[in-house]
Amino acid sequence: MSAVVTTAPAWATEIADRLPQTWRDVVDPPPAIGAAVAAHLAAAPPGVLTEADLAALVARVAADPGLWRPLTLADPHRRRYRLVYEDERLDVWALSWMPGQGTGFHDHGESAVALTAVQGTVRERRMTVGGTRAELLRPGDTHTGRSGYIHAVEHHDGEPAVTVHAYSPPLLHVGQYRASPDGTLWREPQHGRQELLDHTFDRAAGTADD
């Protein structure tokens, strides 16, 4: 197990000016919190974690408010996200959501994900062949997704609503989905720590919500 990463990687200056918050928020987890999450990983199998492994990890983090509550922020202007822990296999994040805030549709590149709600409620929409399928995540609810699946997450209730996400391999690349005025769908590659903005396109495509 490697130590918690505290030095900004070489690509830091490339996107630092485009982030809505300090760069430290997304590269420098609080040492005590990072060390506590590392202890939870002591029994995890080596290598890339499975969806089940990630789900177990976010459940353990969610069960200890000391690992996520200090990282939450009720910002009505920007969705906030803080790095909780990272190593060569995975990264863990605490996200704060206020009314009107959402990611828009995106995928996680090569990374699998588990996300759990710990405060308030968020709405996850998954892209399907027939449109989208939506489900609310309330405290204790956990969803997982394999690499490449397409979804969107948005605030539903709570000020802030808070979720914990874990990705393996670490989330270095995402694809943000947009629609041109004629309805053509395209994927914009972005770095995994770039802020995702909501470029919702399913208003024209229709939805099939649960």
Tens digit of each residue's pLDDT (9 = 90 or more) over 112-152: 999 999 999 999 999 888 888 999 999 999 999 999 899 99
What integer pLDDT is reported at residue 42 of this predicted model? 84
Per-residue pLDDT averaged across 91-112, rounded? 94
Tell me, what's the pLDDT at 95? 96
What CA–CA distance (Å, rounded) separates 205 from 185?
Answer: 11
Q: Is residue 55 part of a domain?
A: yes
Spatial contact of 131 and 201, defined as CB atoms under 8 Å apart: no
Q: Tell me whether residue 171 is in a domain.
A: yes
Instruction: Classify residue 210: in a domain, yes or no.
Output: no
Average pLDDT over residues 27-32: 88
Number of H helices, E strands in the chain: 5, 9
- The confidence score (pLDDT) of residue 22 equals 67
pLDDT score recorded for residue 2: 41
Q: Running DSSP on this structure, what letter comes out for residue 148? A: T
pLDDT above 70 for 6:
no
- CB distance 86 to 57 below 8 Å: no
- Backbone dihedral region for residue 3 (phi beyond 0: left; psi -120 to 50: alpha; all else: beta): beta
Count of domains observed in the chain: 1
pLDDT over 80 (residue 5): no
Residue with tokens 């490697």: 2
Q: Specify whether the CB–CB gap between 157 and 120 falls below 8 A.
A: yes
pLDDT in tens, 59-73: 999 999 999 999 999
Residue 94 lies in a domain: yes
Separation between Cα atoms, residue 163 and residue 58, nearest integer Å: 9
Full domain range(s) for residue 183: 21-205
Look at residue 8 and tell me if it is in a domain. Answer: no
Check residue 200 and give its pLDDT. Answer: 63
How many Å apart are CA 151 and CA 177, to the nearest integer?
10
Nearest Cα to 114, choosing from 128, 129, 93?
93
Instruction: Pick the more confident residue, 99 or 2.
Output: 99
Asked if the structure places residue 170 within a domain, the reply is yes
Report the C-alpha gap between 85 and 41 in whole angstroms.
11
First to last CA, the chain: 41
Per-residue pLDDT, 16: 45
pLDDT tens per residue, range 175-208 = 988 887 787 888 888 888 877 877 665 443 444 4
Q: By percentage, how much of the chain surpasses pLDDT 70?
A: 83
Q: In angstroms, how far is CA 124 from the centroid of its own chain?
A: 11
Return the higher-pLDDT residue of 76 and 4. Answer: 76
pTM, to two decimals = 0.83
pLDDT value at residue 186: 84
In a domain, 98, yes or no: yes
Check residue 207 and give its pLDDT: 44
Q: Report the distance separating Cα 7 and Cα 5, nearest Å.
A: 6
Q: Residue 210: is its pLDDT beyond 70?
A: no
Which neighbouring-strand residues pair with 86?
91
Q: Can you give the CATH number for the domain in which 168 is found?
A: 2.60.120.10
Asked, for residue 14, whether it belongs to a domain, the answer is: no
Task: Name residues whose C-beta falls within 8 Å of residue 150's C-beta, 6 or more positions apart in sequence.
Answer: 105, 106, 107, 126, 127, 177
What would the two tokens of residue 126 be? 């998954």
Count of alpha carbons within 13 Å of 145, Cβ hemisphere only?
A: 23
